Structure 1
Amino acid sequence: MFRTALRNVFAHKARLLMTVLAVMLGVAFVSGTLVFTNTISEAYQNSSAKGFDQVDVAVSAKSQEDKGNTISRTPELTQAMLDKSTKVPGAASAVGVVSGFTAIADKDGKLIGGGFQSQGGNYWGDKDPRYPLKSGSAPRGKDQVAIDSETAKRTGYQVGDKVRLSVNGPVLTPTVSGIFTTDDGNVAAGGSLALYDTATAQQLFGKPGTYDEIDVKAAPGTSQSALKAGLDSALGTKLVETTTGRKLAADQAEQISSSMSGLKQGLLVFAGIALFVGTFIIANTFTMLVAQRTKELALLRAVGASRRQVTRSVLIEAFVVGVVAGVSGLLAGIGIGAGLRSLMNTLGATVPDGPLVITPGTVATALGVGVVITMLAAWLPARRAAKIPPVAAMSSVHAKATTKSLVLRNTLGALFGAAGVATVLAATTMDGTDGQAPMGLGAVLLIIGVFILTPLLSRPLIAAAAPILRIFGVSGKLARQNSVRNPRRTAATASALMIGLTLITGMTVMAGSLQKSIDKMASSAIKADYVVSMANGIELSPDVDKKLNATAGVTSTSPLRNVYSRVDGTGESLTGVNGAAIARLTDLKVAGGTFKVGGTQVVVDKDTAKSHGWKAGSAFTAHYEDGRSSRLTVSGIYEGNDLIRGILLDKNVVTPHMTAPGDMRVLVKTADGASGTTKDKLEKALGTNPAIKVQSKQDLSDDVAKIFTLMLNMLYGLLGMAVIVAVLGVINTLAMSVFERSQEIGMLRAIGLDRKGIKRMVRLESLVISLFGGVLGIGLGVFFGWAAGELLGTQMPTYELVLPWMRMAVFLLLAGTVGVLAALWPARRAARLNMLAAIKSE
């Protein structure tokens, strides 16, 4: 039986090649994901470990817990602490670390480093062991800066060049004194690092005489744990905490691994989809192969083979196919992993150097997935083949589904479908996160139900295409009949395409609807012409608001100045605004009282008011970081949104209580409205600062649109794998269908249907099956997109369903194109059949 199974594998090379490809693509995606994420993770871990080579113990300030209505301030690391650290027994040296944000502009004045990865720090002394100089010298004074070698390479800056940069104040133009190398993870990820001498860094980052961290190097023969104990004894553990370099490296490695796990899980989901789709194709392939060999299997039964042996022979074929697909998929996956890494470098997301990581787990997973998926998909056809009585099989009385089996299938499908729809509809009535799990479960149940019901649905939906198919005469009529001749096979083929298009359509509907809702939110909540903010999301200097107010053409401005406080014993963020102008700059719907901000009168969003039990006229006490407090009165309650929410009060009330005031955003209203000229005027007023973004409402919307577009393009690329697998399924089905109908095709040729007519028949059959899968997929995608939108609508009042008709038409056209392309080879093969040989075939 083993030899028979192997002979059957090699006897159907062309057809089984399609199955191998379907499994291989899914396995390649899985193994490629594992290789890519393991490689990137290890590269970053090795890089971060090198970054701690000069740190045996790190000293940092211990954050203090808030108690009651008292806000404790985080202690500072002083020069005295640094001096003490240096004198601890076993300490070879100690370095004071200062860090903060520094935006560097390239030679065209544009921000480099992506904003969030734009960092600044201090260069310690004349020769900082953390940052070996590649050229030039250490920075000295406020007119000098050292930059990392990657930034120098990307921008073309050299020692002696002037560079435009900003911390959170005016633009500075220091000279590049030196270029250094670093293992900093942010730089490795495409960010930038600028270093100043220690005194300058402390002044620029608002930390005069203090440090963010003290890094201590152990003397030879002193262990990290011993040095840590000495530092704990010298500095005490009440205000500071000490961490060994080994622990820092381990924590960093765990953090990197954790951040990579999300990417890995996301990619594996799409690999699972490709494998899920591939499972249909494999099952379809083995069903047809078994059907074609029914007489052969019956003969084996007649000469003594048992049912178990017949089943085993088919599973052996599946095992061989799975091993071949697993090995080839692993090799392809290694190539995909290397390609993704190169792609990241090409896109500017620099990755640290390191070897390609292929773990035993990746190899085992690839082979295991390939074999298990193939054998699971082949098990049902194998079992079905073994159940056919030998006499019935040899008489060709087989393969037709009984009425009982069809009724059972349709009943089961209806139950799954109804349960899925009911669960999804129930989830739409729940709040945000509570409804996510039920909606996911409902979606799975509904897809399973539709898949089971697809044979039943195929007849009426394909019949709807009959008027169009009549245009093509006999070929069109035959194509329609062939596509519904075997509903199970048509269903399995169409379902592969259906799943891919369901996901693509659902994602597109959600992205378009979210984009529309964010547009509405921006236009309905803000009357301001511009929103000014920092490129990396940190606070703006209060000077920005002053400069904008003094700019010609600006009619009013208001900062959004966040300050932490405690109210009723719990932490609460207050937002200081220009009380006289905020009503002109926003358009927030009032739910109670009046929208009045000034003095001790504040307005509160509905959710915050509900959590505290406040209403218009309620009074509360806010406790600030300087230990003082003020009594405030709620004048009105408004509908909050993702742009503006919380407690709004006059900035003059909160600013005196802040040690370092800063604004998250500044809203700006101008006399001439939003225009390119006005925007240029505002940017020039701020010194054409690379760290500051001046955005109109349209700019805000475009930023969000870019994110959605990038996300969708990535999803389209990933789901394209499932579509490719679906194409292979259509080719496989048509090729085997042509093989089964060889005699029929020969008869058609004999009675006058020419080769063009045969080709047209096969192509139209493929087109109908593909469009059938496309219609089901788009329909389910729209339903899921609507349902997810209803769930989001509970948290986003401006949510509005948007159906992307043009894109859905493109998706349907894509389904049709898939059908046409998939039919090229089977149609050509059918047309080239020798009619006499075909007529004589069994």
Structure 2
Amino acid sequence: MTLASVRGRAVSLAGTFAGLALGVALIAMSLLVYASAQPRPPERLSAAPVVVHGPVLPDASGIGDGVRPWSADQAQALAERLAVLPGVAAAVPDRSFYAQLVVDGRPVGDPEDAGAGHGWPSAALGAYPLTKGTAPDADGEVAAGAATGLAVGDRTTLLTGGGPAEVTVTGLVDGPGVYVSEQAAARLSPGVAAIGLLLHPGADPVAVAAAARAAAPDATVSTGDERAALEPAQAAKTRWLGTQLLIAMASLAVFVTVFVVASTFALSTAQRRRELGLLRTVGATPRQICRMVMGEALLVGGAGGLAGALLGVAAAVPAARLLADWGLAEPGLRIRPEPLPVLAAVLVGVGVALTGAYAAARRAAKVPPMAALREASVEAKAMGLGRWLGGGGALALGGFLAVRTATAAAEDRVNSALFAAMALTAAAALLAPVLLPPLVRLAGLPLRGSRGAGAMLVRAETLAAVRRTAATAAPVIATIGFAVLLSGMVATMREAYPAGQAAKLAGLTIAVPDGMPGLPATAVTTGGRSVLPTRVYAGDVSVAAFGTTGGPTSVAAGTADALDIRVGDSVTVTFADGLTEQLTIDKITPDGQVDDDLILPQELVRQHDPSALAPSLLGADPTALAGQPGVEVLDAKAYAEREGAEDGRLLWLFATVLIALSVGYTGIAVANTMAMSADGRRPDLGVLRRAGATTRQLLRYAAAETLLVVVLGAGLGLAVTVPPLLGMAAGLEQEVGAPVTLRLHWPVTTATMLATALLAITAAVLATRRAARRAASG
């Protein structure tokens, strides 16, 4: 019976199927990309089957990991013990540090890769052989990758943490990176985080790893995928950014799919009251009716889940390529066909279908047998007690959160605005049957004196079918509200933060890296104020630290708790060179007050981390920095805009993807509503045809009615998002200390409205044409 019901209602359930398939496809695609983008061993260690490294310690703030290094003497002694193990051909300490070559006056290579420099022996760990020339063996000699365009014998500039130096290219390697002599590498990176073991042919990596663990019981020995613990920090950051977008896409897919399924089955239950009443009359129990509706959801969910899973698998490869182009995934990411993510996506799709249909199934079970005897086609009451309570509660919650957004802490303000907008959007959708009739009457006032029947017909149809009108307007309200909220938040923040930063730095000149990850020591020592970021290790955690000039040694409250220290306590920390220092804590700062966990004297950081790079230099002297490659001097306004450019790009990227998805779901939801209501309107269309209306006139009436609903829904969507945005703007003004005006991004808002209207009108016209043909033939 359930199967027959689904076959008979295949057209009206097509939108539900499409929504489920799209949702499952997004979930499957996201899970596959996420599973394939897990940490992997660095390419520069691919030729070392066994890697011995220091312990991997979690970050004190809970984000990322760090590998505690050995000092030069410790690494040398350990490498000598490992080199004599059976099966080991060589034990090579891997030193990584910042290095870039200058070609045609510009630094070449990835400006975010602060570990592109290595000692020459490390080239063997990645199987990067010399293709031309000889290996660097003295100061002032380098081996470069062929991709730099340099040739053997070229003279160029090498940028390191210490500053620029003139070097000669003695050789070219078949691989990335810059390689210097081992003596030069030891000065630039005294500490050693890893030692790669090169094996004799036929040696068993498992046996060598066991012997290495016995020879170095305090070290960590990794083989195979375990070597991913040494993944570069930039790769982890890129993967984190991509994961945030994938999570947002999958979450939106789940949320909107539940919405589509719930609205579909709710409208279906309202239209099938006579059918359900007839089933009750012939003896069907409420439980059987409920099982029938849930069975329909299960069949549609299973079919949509399988179709979506196939679509998601096909879309995973181009999605990974697109994420890499956007800078949200590592280049060359390969999708691994794993069954578990696909199965999980199908199960989520089925669960979403059942969740969305549950309320409608319970409502269907309550249809009385007498409903089969009713002849009238007038809609049942659109607002029940539950809808009143839900809509009123969401309205009250949204209003409270909108007011609270203005006074929320900086880290909570965006979430507060999002939750406020979501609550107000839900309130508008739930209360749409109450809000839309007066708005329709208000919109019809200018046309009241018109003699044409079209405006009267559109107004009457919209008011008579409040449930259908609300079902059409609800996804429009959500989509327009979502687009206004996201684009408005991004536009407002992109203006607020640079304005606040420029106000704080007014009158200063700031030196920033140009094509480099940071400023070297030669730029920082010209004058001005700067900080030196580094990483230290204390106890069983790694700590992000900054070196400053003339300040006390301070630690963030969260880090102090992790290390169990208080003001006046001493703590032993290991620096990047593997050496330890005893520090006395002078001050504990609240979490969130600064962007780092530990403040140290800058001289101490420079002493232990020669490759540390300053992100900027405040109060820079342009004359003193003239001629230094990779350094640019900006005024406060230009610096503030540059600092926010990358964050703004990512925010716009996230917003664009999510808005596009929401518009697509709106099209599915509206088309679904139109397809389901078309058959119910066949008698009305037949009456209009007999009264002399042509097919073209019927289509114009349907388009006008749909456009009216879209315009009203767009107005409600705009209205419910402005209060949270105003609260966010007020909070931003307090935070940045500069005037902040709410910015609505009208190009995005207008484009979303037009796309939504086009999809809705197209769906209405197609559904009405089909129903009109059936009415004429019937």
Task: Assess same fold via TM > 0.5.
Answer: yes
8 A contact 1:225–1:244 mirrored in 2: no
Spell out the pairing of 1:456-535 with structure 2 (5 A cutoff).
456-467=434-445, 473-528=452-507, 530-534=509-513
Tell me the residue number matched to 1:748: 688
Tell me the residue number matched to 1:576: 549
SS of the residue aligned with 2:702?
Answer: helix
Distance 2:463 2:625 in 1: 66
* Cα offsets for 1:481-500 (capped at 9, x unmatched): 33333333333332223223
Distance 1:80 1:361 in 2: 45
SS of the residue aligned with 2:184?
Answer: helix
The more displaced of 311-320 and 418-427 is: 418-427
* Cα offsets for 1:321-348 (capped at 9, x unmatched): 1112111111111122111122245557
What TM-score do you get using the length of structure 1 for normalisation? 0.73
Spell out the pairing of 1:47-66 with structure 2 (5 A cutoff).
47-48=41-42, 51=45, 54=48, 56=50, 58=52, 60=54
Query: 2:685 matched to 1:685?
Result: no
- Where structure 1 has 5 or more consecutive residues not aligned to the other structure, the ranges are 64-72, 182-191, 550-556, 578-601, 612-620, 633-639, 671-677
Q: 2:392 aligns with which of 388, 395, 414?
A: 414
8 A contact 1:537–1:664 mirrored in 2: no
Distance 2:596 2:47 in 1: 44
Query: 2:169 matched to 1:175?
Result: yes
Spell out the pairing of 1:89-238 with structure 2 (5 A cutoff).
90=86, 92-105=89-102, 109=106, 111-116=108-113, 119-124=116-121, 128-133=124-129, 135-140=131-136, 141-148=138-145, 152=147, 165-168=158-161, 169-170=163-164, 172=166, 174-175=168-169, 177-181=171-175, 192-203=176-187, 205=188, 207=190, 211=192, 213-216=194-197, 223-231=208-216
Deviation at 1:818, TM superposition (A): 1.6
Say if 1:509 and 1:194 are closer, same or farther in 2 by CA, change over 3 A.
same
8 A contact 1:530–1:696 mirrored in 2: yes
Equivalent AA in structure 2 for residue 722 of structure 1? S
> Identity over the aligned pairs, expressed in percent?
21
Say if 1:297 and 1:157 are closer, same or farther in 2 by CA, change over 3 A.
farther
Say if 1:809 and 1:264 are closer, same or farther in 2 by CA, change over 3 A.
closer
Say if 1:467 and 1:173 are closer, same or farther in 2 by CA, change over 3 A.
farther
Tell me the residue number matched to 1:802: 741
Spell out the pairing of 1:541-690 with structure 2 (5 A cutoff).
541-544=520-523, 558-561=528-531, 575-576=548-549, 664-668=615-619, 685-686=627-628, 689-690=629-630
* Cα offsets for 1:384-436 (capped at 9, x unmatched): 33433334324335774348x53553244213321342245346434344778
Say if 1:643 and 1:699 are closer, same or farther in 2 by CA, change over 3 A.
farther
* Cα offsets for 1:760-805 (capped at 9, x unmatched): 22112212222233223223333333344555566x3336543224
Distance 1:390 1:710 in 2: 57
Distance 1:457 1:788 in 2: 26
8 A contact 1:123–1:138 mirrored in 2: no
Spell out the pairing of 1:673-822 with structure 2 (5 A cutoff).
685-686=627-628, 689-690=629-630, 692-697=631-636, 698-789=638-729, 796-798=735-737, 800-805=739-744, 807-808=745-746, 810-812=748-750, 814-822=752-760
Equivalent AA in structure 1 for residue 499 of structure 2? K
Deviation at 1:158, TM superposition (A): 6.1
* Alignment size in residue pairs: 735
* Cα offsets for 1:189-247 (capped at 9, x unmatched): xxx521222123334x264xx75544455785754243233245xxxx6xxx5545579
SS of the residue aligned with 1:14?
Answer: coil
8 A contact 2:421–2:721 mirrored in 1: no
The more displaced of 782-791 and 360-369 is: 782-791
Distance 1:334 1:379 in 2: 29
Distance 1:130 1:662 in 2: 26
Equivalent AA in structure 2 for residue 251 of structure 1? A
SS of the residue aligned with 1:112?
Answer: coil
Distance 1:375 1:520 in 2: 49
8 A contact 2:132–2:172 mirrored in 1: yes
Distance 2:486 2:728 in 1: 10
8 A contact 2:152–2:171 mirrored in 1: yes
Deviation at 1:276, TM superposition (A): 2.3
Deviation at 1:663, TM superposition (A): 5.0
Deviation at 1:120, TM superposition (A): 0.6
Q: 1:282 aligns with which of 248, 261, 281?
A: 261
Tell me the residue number matched to 1:328: 307
SS of the residue aligned with 1:823?
Answer: helix
Distance 1:523 1:776 in 2: 36
Distance 2:78 2:27 in 1: 50
Deviation at 1:724, TM superposition (A): 0.7
Equivalent AA in structure 1 for residue 287 of structure 2? R
Query: 2:335 matched to 1:356?
Result: yes
* Cα offsets for 1:580-609 (capped at 9, x unmatched): xxxxxxxxxxxxxxxxxxxxxx8999x99x
Say if 1:685 and 1:352 are closer, same or farther in 2 by CA, change over 3 A.
closer
Distance 1:604 1:463 in 2: 68
Deviation at 1:101, TM superposition (A): 0.5
Distance 2:544 2:762 in 1: 67
Distance 1:744 1:561 in 2: 74
8 A contact 2:100–2:109 mirrored in 1: yes
Deviation at 1:113, TM superposition (A): 1.0
SS of the residue aligned with 1:695?
Answer: strand
Say if 1:231 and 1:40 are closer, same or farther in 2 by CA, change over 3 A.
closer
Say if 1:57 and 1:530 are closer, same or farther in 2 by CA, change over 3 A.
same
8 A contact 2:140–2:167 mirrored in 1: yes
Distance 2:281 2:763 in 1: 37
8 A contact 1:763–1:820 mirrored in 2: no
Deviation at 1:529, TM superposition (A): 5.5
Query: 2:29 matched to 1:36?
Result: no
Distance 1:816 1:358 in 2: 39
* Cα offsets for 1:544-574 (capped at 9, x unmatched): 256xx6xxxxxxx5242559999xxx99966
8 A contact 1:88–1:230 mirrored in 2: no
8 A contact 1:475–1:758 mirrored in 2: no
Query: 2:294 matched to 1:315?
Result: yes
Deviation at 1:373, TM superposition (A): 1.9
8 A contact 1:159–1:179 mirrored in 2: no
- Max Rg structure: 1
The more displaced of 537-546 and 702-711 is: 537-546
Deviation at 1:143, TM superposition (A): 5.0
SS of the residue aligned with 2:431?
Answer: helix
Say if 1:685 and 1:642 are closer, same or farther in 2 by CA, change over 3 A.
farther
Distance 2:252 2:399 in 1: 21
- Where structure 2 has 5 or more consecutive residues not aligned to the other structure, the ranges are 58-68, 537-542, 561-569, 587-591
8 A contact 1:512–1:802 mirrored in 2: no
SS of the residue aligned with 2:468?
Answer: helix
Say if 1:325 and 1:134 are closer, same or farther in 2 by CA, change over 3 A.
farther
Tell me the residue number matched to 1:593: none
8 A contact 1:292–1:740 mirrored in 2: yes
* Cα offsets for 1:21-53 (capped at 9, x unmatched): 111111111111011111222xx52x4499365
What TM-score do you get using the length of structure 2 for normalisation? 0.79
Say if 1:516 and 1:572 are closer, same or farther in 2 by CA, change over 3 A.
same
* Cα offsets for 1:152-202 (capped at 9, x unmatched): 2xx555666666542231254532612224xxxxxxxxxx52122212333
